[in-house]
């Protein structure tokens, strides 16, 4: 038994629980502190710990497979981990989200019934997808070399010439197990989040950290503070009026939707109005977020005489480190994924050689730490990319930003659910990009030999459609952020912000009327 590996796994598990608990305490709102909503908090910490362990299973698989096979049954461990992930994605986290949504809602009288009905619909939908697709898409085409022999050659006839001729490349159909198919579905769904939001985040994460250094709060005079505070107050008044308007429109839409026949023109029109209300509400949330950030900066500039130099330098250093990590990921994808696909030959190992060097030199924990940095950074990019996408395209998705001491539990649960879905694709992504490092592992067998060759899914996985999409999104987002680096409505002390000025002008016009 590899005692070091066992101790290392337990250490990772303990470290993940402690770290995730601290993260929850750091981000949650003060009113959620203590034992309030304890079930949601346990689910959040458990979900993040599961994401940690899944992302670090590949280095554990590497240690268990080389130089000799270890005591862990990695195939069973991979299956159990992904089945647990599926349960958390479909049942556990949605239950917490549904429960938290109605916990303080007076209009929902039967809260348990609401949660159970919502959960049942989610479970039925997920089970239907698996049950319908599994019989048709669970065949994997494994490449083999076929020989047609005219005569049978026994062991005593090894000196004779080859009577089988040249081999012919062909494929055989193999039925994969249900647990492997669940892994493939989770990976396929997760790739949509990872490729789009991860691609955006790879460019947005370093840029935002550098901009936070450039736009850091600086000391201001009393006159400037009063002027800016007045503008913030006027903008806040306009947003309050908009909130009341949205509430009235939402109530009116709900009343109009009652009693209308389904699939009628009037019901479609009512649904369209409700969708427009949701879009306007998403834009409203973006404006509120930017205004709150401006007010916080204003308070720091006034009462703390600007942001601490140490904090500002740390933000700049983080921005530089994030930029280097993004660049390393892009180079790793191009060198180790796209170049072999285009040329048909293996490219330079790049980061693979670094991980292998740590493994062979006896510095296995440092190699795992470096591997974890790359994986966890990509997951951070997914969260950042989702927020940036919601800020720029408000009609598509609602924002759930992670803010220190000011994040509701439902926003944390939303990001946790997105991280869990992305984790499945992240594991496959790491196995693909670090294929040299992942050689001779059970992960290589599961993802490269089975999932990558499944019917329907193989087109996306073998041709690296999602990875190419990630690079394309990264390039588009990078160019876009160079042109418009700041979110619309963001404010700096060097020049008045157009969004804030427009809100203030609207407030003045309302006062005159």
> Do the Cβ atoms of 240 and 339 come closer than 8 Å?
no
Contacts of 279 (CB under 8 A, 6+ apart): 394, 395
In this structure, the answer to whether residues 312 and 299 fall within a common structural domain is no
In this structure, the answer to whether residues 302 and 312 fall within a common structural domain is no
Residue 143 pairs with which residues in a beta bridge? 171
In this structure, the answer to whether residues 323 and 290 fall within a common structural domain is no
Token reading at 260:
């209308």
Give the phi and the psi of residue 128 in degrees, each rounded to 5. Answer: -65, -40
Token reading at 145:
């070399």
| 490 domain-assigned | no
Token reading at 470:
């990630």
> Per-residue pLDDT averaged across 146-161, rounded?
58
Give the span between the Cα atoms of 478 and 199, in whole angstroms. 9
Give the span between the Cα atoms of 51 and 54, in whole angstroms. 5
| 154 domain-assigned | no
| 158 domain-assigned | no
Give the span between the Cα atoms of 145 and 163, in whole angstroms. 16
Q: Which letter does DSSP use for residue 404 in this model?
A: T
> Would you say residue 425 has pLDDT above 70?
yes
Most confident of 109-113, 181-185, 509-513: 181-185
| 177 domain-assigned | yes
In this structure, the answer to whether residues 298 and 352 fall within a common structural domain is no
Residue 508: predicted pLDDT: 52
Q: Domain span at residue 82?
A: 3-144+168-212+307-463
Give the span between the Cα atoms of 311 and 354, in whole angstroms. 31
In this structure, the answer to whether residues 278 and 289 fall within a common structural domain is yes
Q: Residue 436: which of 425, 426, 448, 446 has the closest Cα?
A: 448
| 487 domain-assigned | no
Give the span between the Cα atoms of 442 and 445, in whole angstroms. 5
> Per-residue pLDDT averaged across 42-48, rounded?
94
Q: Residue 388: which of 311, 459, 487 has the closest Cα?
A: 487
| 492 domain-assigned | no
Residue 395: predicted pLDDT: 62
Q: Is 168 helix (H, G, I), strand (E, B) or coil?
A: strand
Encode burial over 170-183: b for 16+ CB neighbours within 10 A, e otherwise: eeeeeebeebbbbb
For the entire predicted model, the pTM comes to 0.85
> Do the Cβ atoms of 473 and 197 come closer than 8 Å?
no
Query: What separation in angstroms does the CA of 458 have from each of 85, 171, 185, 350, 508?
Result: 22, 13, 12, 26, 60
In this structure, the answer to whether residues 383 and 436 fall within a common structural domain is yes
What percent of the chain has a predicted confidence (pLDDT) above 70? 84
Q: Residue 433: which of 328, 358, 322, 357 has the closest Cα?
A: 328
> Do the Cβ atoms of 177 and 80 come closer than 8 Å?
no
Better pLDDT: 322 or 142: 322
Of 28-32, 156-160, 369-373, 427-431, least confident by mean pLDDT is: 156-160
In this structure, the answer to whether residues 403 and 314 fall within a common structural domain is yes
| 160 domain-assigned | no
Residue 156: predicted pLDDT: 54
Of 110-119, 154-163, 434-443, 471-480, least confident by mean pLDDT is: 154-163
Whether the upstream peptide bond of residue 342 has omega within 30° of 0, thus cis, is no
| Residue in the structure block whose two tokens are 């940690």 | 52
Band of pLDDT at residue 105, cut at 50, 70 and 90: low
> Do the Cβ atoms of 234 and 255 come closer than 8 Å?
no
Most confident of 161-165, 267-271, 395-399, 410-414: 410-414
In this structure, the answer to whether residues 243 and 335 fall within a common structural domain is no
| Residue in the structure block whose two tokens are 């209308």 | 260
Better pLDDT: 221 or 148: 221
In this structure, the answer to whether residues 204 and 172 fall within a common structural domain is yes
Give the span between the Cα atoms of 475 and 481, in whole angstroms. 10
DSSP 309-370: HHHHHHHHHHHHHHHHHHHHHHHHHIIIIIHHHHHSS----THHHHHHHHHHTT-HHHHHHH
Token reading at 290:
């930017």
Instruction: Tell me the residue length of the chain.
Output: 513
> Do the Cβ atoms of 206 and 317 come closer than 8 Å?
no
> Per-residue pLDDT averaged across 9-31, rounded?
92
What percent of the chain has a predicted confidence (pLDDT) above 90? 40
Most confident of 162-176, 255-269, 283-297, 376-390: 376-390
> Would you say residue 475 has pLDDT above 90?
yes
Give the span between the Cα atoms of 48 and 23, in whole angstroms. 10
Centre a 10 Å sphere on the Cβ of residue 347 and count the other Cβ atoms it contains.
17
> Per-residue pLDDT averaged across 115-134, rounded?
89
Give the span between the Cα atoms of 208 and 322, in whole angstroms. 10
Of 37-41, 140-144, 204-208, 470-474, least confident by mean pLDDT is: 140-144
In this structure, the answer to whether residues 187 and 297 fall within a common structural domain is no
Residue 509: predicted pLDDT: 54
Q: What is the mean pLDDT of the chain?
A: 84
Give the phi and the psi of residue 263 in degrees, each rounded to 5. Answer: 65, 20
> Per-residue pLDDT averaged across 11-40, rounded?
88
Give the span between the Cα atoms of 171 and 189, in whole angstroms. 27
Q: Residue 203: which of 470, 397, 419, 503 has the closest Cα?
A: 470
Centre a 10 Å sphere on the Cβ of residue 437 and count the other Cβ atoms it contains.
24
> Would you say residue 506 has pLDDT above 70?
no
> Would you say residue 346 has pLDDT above 80?
no
In this structure, the answer to whether residues 181 and 265 fall within a common structural domain is no
| 132 domain-assigned | yes
In this structure, the answer to whether residues 458 and 355 fall within a common structural domain is yes
Q: pLDDT tens, 450-463?
A: 898 898 898 999 88
> Do the Cβ atoms of 172 and 145 come closer than 8 Å?
no
Band of pLDDT at residue 14, cut at 50, 70 and 90: very high
Q: Residue 260: which of 249, 252, 268 has the closest Cα?
A: 268
If one counts the domains in the chain, the total is: 2
């Amino acid at each position: 038994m590899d005692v070091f590996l066992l101790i290392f796994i337990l250490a990772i598990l303990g470290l993940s629980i402690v770290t995730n608990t601290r993260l929850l305490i750091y981000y949650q709102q003060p009113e959620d502190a203590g034992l309030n909503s304890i079930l949601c908090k346990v689910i959040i910490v458990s979900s993040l710990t599961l994401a940690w362990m899944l992302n670090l299973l590949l280095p554990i698989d590497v240690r268990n497979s080389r130089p000799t096979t270890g005591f862990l049954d990695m195939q069973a461990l991979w299956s159990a981990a992904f089945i647990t992930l599926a349960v958390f994605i479909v049942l556990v986290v949605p239950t917490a989200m549904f429960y938290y949504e109605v916990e303080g809602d007076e209009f929902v009288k039967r809260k348990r019934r609401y949660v159970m009905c919502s959960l049942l619909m989610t479970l039925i939908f997920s089970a239907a997808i698996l049950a319908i697709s599994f019989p048709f898409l669970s065949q994997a085409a494994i490449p083999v070399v076929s020989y047609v022999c005219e005569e049978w050659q026994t062991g005593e006839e090894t000196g004779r010439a080859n009577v089988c001729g040249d081999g012919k490349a062909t494929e055989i159909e193999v039925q994969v197990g249900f647990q492997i198919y669940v892994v493939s579905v989770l990976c396929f769904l997760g790739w949509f989040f990872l490729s789009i939001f991860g691609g955006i985040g790879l460019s947005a994460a370093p840029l935002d950290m550098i901009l936070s250094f450039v736009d850091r709060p600086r000391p201001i005079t009393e006159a400037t503070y009063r002027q800016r505070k007045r503008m913030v107050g006027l903008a806040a008044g306009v947003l309050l009026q908009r909130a009341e308007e949205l509430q009235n429109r939402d109530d009116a839409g709900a009343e109009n939707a009652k009693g209308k026949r389904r699939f009628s023109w009037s019901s479609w029109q009512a649904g369209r109005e409700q969708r427009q209300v949701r879009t306007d509400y998403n834009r409203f949330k973006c404006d509120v977020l930017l205004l709150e950030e401006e007010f916080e900066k204003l308070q720091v500039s006034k009462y703390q005489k600007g942001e601490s130099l140490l904090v500002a330098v740390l933000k700049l250093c983080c921005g530089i480190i994030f930029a280097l990590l993004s660049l390393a990921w892009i180079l790793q994808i191009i060198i180790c994924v796209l170049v072999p696909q285009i040329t048909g030959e293996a490219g330079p190992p790049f980061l693979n050689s670094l991980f292998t060097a740590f493994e062979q030199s006896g510095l296995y924990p440092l190699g795992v730490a470096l591997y974890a940095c790359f994986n966890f950074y990509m997951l951070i990019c997914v969260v950042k990319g989702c927020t940036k996408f919601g800020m720029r395209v408000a009609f598509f998705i609602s924002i759930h930003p992670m803010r220190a001491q000011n994040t509701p539990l439902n926003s944390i649960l939303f990001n946790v659910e997105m991280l869990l879905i992305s984790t499945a694709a992240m594991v496959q992504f790491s196995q693909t990009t670090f294929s040299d490092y992942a050689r001779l592992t059970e992960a290589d067998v599961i993802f490269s030999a089975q999932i990558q060759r499944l019917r329907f899914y193989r087109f996306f996985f073998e041709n690296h459609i999602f990875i190419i999409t990630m690079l394309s999104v990264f390039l588009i987002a990078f160019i876009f952020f160079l042109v418009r680096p700041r979110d619309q409505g963001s404010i700096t002390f060097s020049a008045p912000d157009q969004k804030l000025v427009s809100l203030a002008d609207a407030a003045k016009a309302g006062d005159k009327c």
